[in-house]
Structure formats: C-alpha cells, structure tokens
Amino acid sequence: MEAENSKTNTHKGLAILTIGHFINDVHAAFLPTFTPILMMNLGLSITQASMLTFLSGIINSFMQPLLGYASDQTSRPLMILIGPILAALGASLIPSSPSYALAFFFVGLWAIGSATFHPQGQGSVGHLTTSQNLSFAFSIFSVGGILASALSPLYGAYLYQRLGEAFLPIVTSIPVLLYAMLVFKFLPTIPGKHAYKSSVETKGLKFILHSMKITFAPLSVAVIRDTSIQGIQFFMPIAIAAKGEQLETLAKYYLS
C-alpha cells in the first residue's frame, strides 16, 4: 500500500511539474510574435529590436546556473512558483510597452521568470522519480515545454486579437494562479530533497565554475544550435510583417 501511495504521489508530482513547464513556456514566443508590433508602435530599428532578444538570452544564460545553485539550498518549491508568475506577467506586458526602456524591463521580467523555473523544475523531476524511470520522467516533463513553445505564438496572437493588450496580463494570470494552487496543495515541498549541505570545495562560485567547466562541450553545442534557431525566429516575423502580413501569418509561421 505504501509503495502504491508513493507511486501515485510521484505521478501527481510529475503531472504538476509538467503543467508548470507548459504554463511557463507557453509564453516563450511572445517576444518574437510581438516584436513587429513593438517596432511599429515605438519606431524601433531592427538593431534595437534585436537587443531585446539579446537581453532575454543573456539573462537566461547567466541566471540559470545561479538560480540552479540557489534551488539546491531548499526543499521549498519557491522557484517553480515564482518563475511562471514572472514569465506570464512580463510576457503579457510586452506588446503594451509605452517606451523602449519599459520594453526592456518587461522582457527582462519575462526572461527572469523563465530562468527561475527551469533549474528547480528539472531538478525536482529527479527527486520525484526513481533512477530506473528518470529518462521517461524527463521526457514527459520536456513534452510540456515543447508543446507550450509550439502553441505560444497562436496563444499570444489569439489573446491579443480577441482581448487586446490591456487584458493580456489578466487572462494569462488565471492559469498561473490555478497552477500555484496545485503546487500549494499537492507539492508543498519537494520529496526527498533537503537543504543542500556540502563541503567547502563544492560551495559558491567555485562550484558553479567547476560545473560549467565539465559541461563546456554540450554547452557549446547548445549555444551554437540556439543561436541559429533564435536568429531565424527573430528575423522571420519581421520579414513577414515587412511584406504587410497580419499577426495570424506570424503565428502560423512558428508551427510550419
């Protein structure tokens, strides 16, 4: 009976984390989807617009190792709660940016939210499942993010056209709040995870640098791959919009 309850709790926890991954990443394409709107409303050049994408990438790159280290210090699910809230709020405010400075702020808020969720979200999967089922559990968790990224442009474009930019933050906050209730009720702590205690050699900046050193090869490949993908995702909507196409065309482009 105890083993059966443990298995049920594992499946429930994995489902909550996958839902959180979906909610966090469903805002992933809001910036490239709304970039042509920002350029038109604020009179931005392509270089100025590309700096927004650059900002989000830099924040994600440098903050995730630090936030991953911080999430190892606690069993409380603070990161997987705060991340989707900031991501949804920042992303939903992007198209209503009244100035370039505020556009930077909203993009930064969104990027911080995304960077906050992923380290603890991915780490929690490992604490919830056994080593025998770890690969399968990670694949389920990843499906939530991949599906969300695919639907993100359609989701953003639909809400913008149906509700307008003023209602975007209100509507996007609803699934985030429902997800937060699930976490509070069913995942108040991360099972099997305790406050991180280690030797001096594995603490602080030295530990982070060591971790980056041993992951340098796959990290380099990931950087090259994502540079190509982000470049295409950024410039294609601008090129399409320059030809007079509508927002629906931009959304459909991401799913083609």
Q: What is the pLDDT of residues 158-189, one digit of tens each?
A: 999 898 888 999 999 999 999 999 999 988 88
pLDDT in tens, 124-160: 998 888 878 889 999 999 999 999 988 998 999 899 9
| Residue 164 to residue 141: CA distance in whole angstroms | 32
pLDDT (tens digit per residue) in 186-200: 888 887 665 444 444
Question: What are 80's two structure tokens?
Answer: 């997987």
Q: How many residues does the chain have?
A: 256
Six token digits for residue 248: 């629906």
Alpha helices in the chain (DSSP H): 2-25, 30-42, 46-71, 78-93, 100-128, 134-163, 168-186, 204-214, 216-242, 247-255
Q: How far apart are CA 103 and CA 30, in angstroms?
A: 12
Please tell me the distance from the alpha carbon of residue 175 to that of residue 86, in angstroms, as a whole number.
13
Q: Which two tokens stand for residue 186?
A: 């069913």
182: its two tokens? 């699930």
What is the C-alpha separation between 19 and 171, in angstroms, rounded?
17
Long-range interactions of 160-164: CB distance < 8 A, separation 24+: 160/34, 160/95, 160/247, 161/247, 161/248
What domains can be seen in the chain, in order of their start residue?
2-255 (1.20.1250.20)
Q: Is 7 helix (H, G, I), strand (E, B) or coil?
A: helix
Q: Indicate whether 5 pLDDT > 60.
A: no
pTM: 0.80
Distance of alpha carbon 21 from alpha carbon 23, whole angstroms? 6
Q: What percent of the chain has pLDDT over 90?
A: 39
Q: What is the DSSP string of 203-222?
A: SHHHHHHHHHHHTHHHHHHH
Check the CA dihedral 128-132-138-141 and report its sign: negative
Average pLDDT for 190-214: 61
- Reading the block at residue 149, the tokens are 């990224």
